[in-house]
Chain A
């Protein structure tokens, strides 16, 4: 088994996930199941993976939102997709400093709340409302 494969297996073990990694495009994806974003961020810190970004999607109808978290492990892009039942999710800012700006941007673009942190405006100016840029307004 290669070093990369061993590391990937160790991530699955740390998270207690038995489903395999799935290759899609440049990224390897792991279904996080019941694990929280903080569990995943902690596991990524332990293997010294580099945080890359979070991509937010608004799902069809009333299905809410999906957040895709990406890390880089020795050149391999890793992805974890989380469906949000509500408009909030735990922040990983305190355990992953690099997530600061993207959490602020998603908060402002989609109006989602990252709990456990405070925001300073990143792009919104005085009087602007979170969620006006990217969130679809449903009648």
Chain B
């Protein structure tokens, strides 16, 4: 006999509010429907009443984890509309902050995934390491969450002592190599809870158009940093980790390997940081009428901003944000089909969902 189990919008198994209505046969999930919008904030509408300085601060609040990538994508779009090009040093600083944010996001996710696996020690270890990443971000920007680094035509703060940051990154890399990566990639607890669970096949990943680590765990190879390089990524050497199993373990492995690639990018970017200005001169900007669409590879995948402006206006005519979680979340329906009910919190967490981004 089939029965429906509603999970959420407020539930201990969910990190943020959304609802999963699951149709079950015994302990097996047959189908599921997703509902979002419980914290919908109307930020796209609010943006239409903010000027070109205020709108950067507003869009930084779309997400509390990947706040920097939102301002980076927005500033890139506004730079298209003003014809400004950030100086090379600013492009490298943008890469450094973006990669530190990716590390912070992936480690935070690793901690939450560990908690859902019943692996509390790993949860504590991950959060301890995350604090150190936040210390580095604070050393650079003065802030732990909303870094306020990006502006039109560059960045707001310089990295005055790259060697000191490099030392912190190297210490962090060692800790991750000794603690997080081996445990997540080899431990029997992680394998038994994650292998073969919540599979998203490559075919379904293509038809759902999923992005980021979820797509790369299902055999798709795209990473916007490589496919359509921005900032200084074209000048840096890194690999794009891809797995083919499409299960929770594959998503875990992709993120674990991405942590190592981020450290590799950080070491190069800090060593090659070019001298010079960190932003173009001037505080007033002349926008042309038009629309600019820009993308970046955030920690959760491709983030797109479409920004429309009218010449002479201080406020945008329209800002549309397509967040990675918005693209990936519908695929949860296919991941939970055939899964055990007890695995569904881990499966939904395996996409590293951000409902703050989704309910922007």
Contacts and interface: CB of A to CB of B under 8 A. Distances in A.
Interface stretch (A12-20, A30-38, A48-56, A111-119): A48-56
Question: Looking at chain B's contact residues, is the secondary structure mostly helix, strand, loop, or mixed?
Answer: mixed
Contacts of A57: 291, 308, 317-318
A123 B359 contact: yes
A32 to B, nearest CB: 16
Contacts of B201: none
Nearest to B44: A134
Interface in A45-81: 48, 50-53, 55-58, 68, 70, 72, 74-77, 79
Contacts of A24: 80, 290-293
A72 B306 CA distance: 15
B164 interface: no
Nearest to B73: A26
A118 to B, nearest CB: 13
Contacts of A74: 227
Interface of A is mostly: mixed
A24 B318 CA distance: 17
Contacts of A27: 293
Contacts of B45: 133-134
A101 B37 CA distance: 12
Given A25-B80, A26-B295, A53-B322, A75 B228 contact: yes
Assign chain A's interface to a size class.
35 or more
Contacts of B295: 26, 77
A75 B227 contact: yes
Interface string A81-114: 0000000000000000110111000000100000
B222 interface: yes
A133 B42 contact: yes
B80 A122 contact: no
Contact of B37 (A26, A97, A124, A134): A124
Interface in B69-113: 77, 80
A26 B209 contact: no
A125 interface: yes
22 contacts: A24-B292, A25-B292, A25-B293, A26-B293, A27-B293, A52-B302, A52-B304, A52-B322, A52-B327, A53-B320, A56-B320, A57-B291, A57-B317, A70-B293, A70-B304, A75-B222, A77-B293, A97-B208, A98-B327, A100-B330, A101-B329, A121-B37
Given A25-B292, A26-B293, A97-B209, 18 more contacts: A24-B80, A25-B77, A25-B80, A27-B293, A50-B209, A53-B322, A57-B317, A58-B318, A68-B291, A72-B222, A75-B224, A97-B208, A98-B330, A102-B322, A123-B359, A133-B40, A133-B45, A134-B44
Interface of B: 33, 35-37, 40, 42, 44-45, 77, 80, 206-209, 222, 224, 226-228, 290-295, 302, 304, 306, 308, 317-318, 320, 322, 326-327, 329-330, 359
Interface of A: 24-27, 48, 50-53, 55-58, 68, 70, 72, 74-77, 79, 97-98, 100-102, 109, 120-125, 133-134
